[in-house]
Amino acid sequence: MVPLSGITILDLTHVLAGPFASQTLQDLGARIIKVERPGTGDDTRAFPPFVQGESAYFATLNAGKQSIALDLKAEGDRAIFERLLARSDVLIENFRPGVMARLGYGWETLHARQPGLIYAAVSGFGQTGPDADKPAYDMVVQARGGVMSITGESNGPPVRVGASIGDIVAGMYLTQGILAALFQRERTGEGAFIDVAMLDSQLAIQEHAVAIASATGVPPGRTGARHPTITPFATYRAEDGFIVIAAGNDAMFARLCTVLGLTIAEDSRFASNAARCDNHALLKRLIETVTLGAPMAHWIQVLEAAGLPTARVQDMGEVLRDPQILARNMVLPVAPHPGGPAFVATGNPIKMSTLPEVRGLPPAPRLDGDRAAILEWLDKPD
C-alpha cells in the first residue's frame, strides 16, 4: 500500500503553488480531483509552450489528476461540490482570503459540518495581517520577502530567481502542513485549518540572510553565485565554461590548493574561512588563473578525484540527459491522450521503500474530462 492510498484531495487551486502541492501528494498515492472553472479551467492551460495546442506547463503539473468543471455559484454545481466535500479528506484552495467564506465554504462552516475535513489554504500574504487581501505572484513575494535583494551580481540590479520559488516553496510548506494534519487526524479524528503564505515561506528559506541582518544590523547584498559566508564557494571559469567549486572547510581548501598548485593554504589572507571571505575577490582571481587553463571536463575529473564538491553549470537540456538524474527516474514521459501530444515531467524526488518507482505518468486531464467517472464514483456507497 502506498503512503497516501485512500486519501482523496479536492483541489480548487490553479497555476503553481497549490497544484505543486497536490502533485506531490499524488506522487505519494493520494487521489486528486481538480475542480476547475467552466470554460477556461486552470490558467496554466493557456501558458506556453504548446504542443498540438496543449500546454506543456499544465501537463507537467497536473499529470494523472482528474478534472471536473464546477461553477460554485450555480445551484446544480454546488450540489455536486458538496457531495465531493463529503467524500474528501482534504480541501486545497488558493483564492484570496474570504472568497470561500462568501461562497458558503469557509473553514468554520465546513469544520462544523465535517469535523474530519482538512482545509488547506495558500495565498500571497496569508489569511491574517494588514495585507492579507492584496494580490501576489511569485515575483512579488521574491521582491518583498528579500530574495531578490540578495540575488544577482553585486554591481547589478536585483534579479528574480530563475525557478518560481515564491510559489514552489509555499507549495512545499503546504504539503508539509497537510501531511502533519493527516497524521494528527489519525490520533484525534479532527481536521485542521492550514494557512500558508508565499511571503512567509520566502523568509523561512533565507537562513544566512536572516542571520546576517539580525546579528550585524546590516542586510546582506547581492553576491552573484558566491556564498556570502563560505569561501571558496562559487562559480569559476574554465577554458570552455563555468564550474562550481564548493570547498566548505579548511581541509577542503587545503586539498583544493594542492590540486590547483597554489601555495596559499597557509597564507594569512586565506588561512581561515573568515579571512577567505574578506579576500574573496583576490582568491577568485588566483583560482581562475589556474582553471582557465583547462576545460571543464578536466577540472571535474581532478576535483572529484580529490573528493571536492564540484559540478558543471548545466543548462536544462543537459540536465534532462544527466545519467544521475535519469538513474533516479527524475525525467518521466507523460502519456498522451489518444491522438494528443506526449510531454515530459519530473519524477518524484521522494524515494520510499513503500512507494514503487514509476517509469511514466498518466496524461493530464482534459477540462471536465472526468465528470462522468467522478459522478459515477459519487453514486457508489462510501
Active site residues: 227
DSSP for 262-284? ---TT-TTTSSHHHHHHTHHHHH
If DSSP codes are grouped into helix, strand and coil, which group holds residue 314? coil
Nearest-angstrom CA–CA distance, 117 and 87: 9
Find, among 312, 344, 311, 350, the residue nearest to 328 by Cα.
Answer: 350
Residue 264, all three cell numbers: 596559499
Nearest-angstrom CA–CA distance, 108 and 224: 46
Angle subtended at Cα 307 by Cα 303 and Cα 309, rounded to the nearest 5 degrees: 70
Find, among 85, 95, 25, 28, the residue nearest to 355 by Cα.
Answer: 28
Where are the strands (E) in the chain, listed by range?
Answer: 8-11, 31-36, 50-51, 54-55, 66-69, 90-93, 118-123, 193-197, 233-238, 241-246, 310-312, 331-334, 343-346
Residue 225, all three cell numbers: 553565485
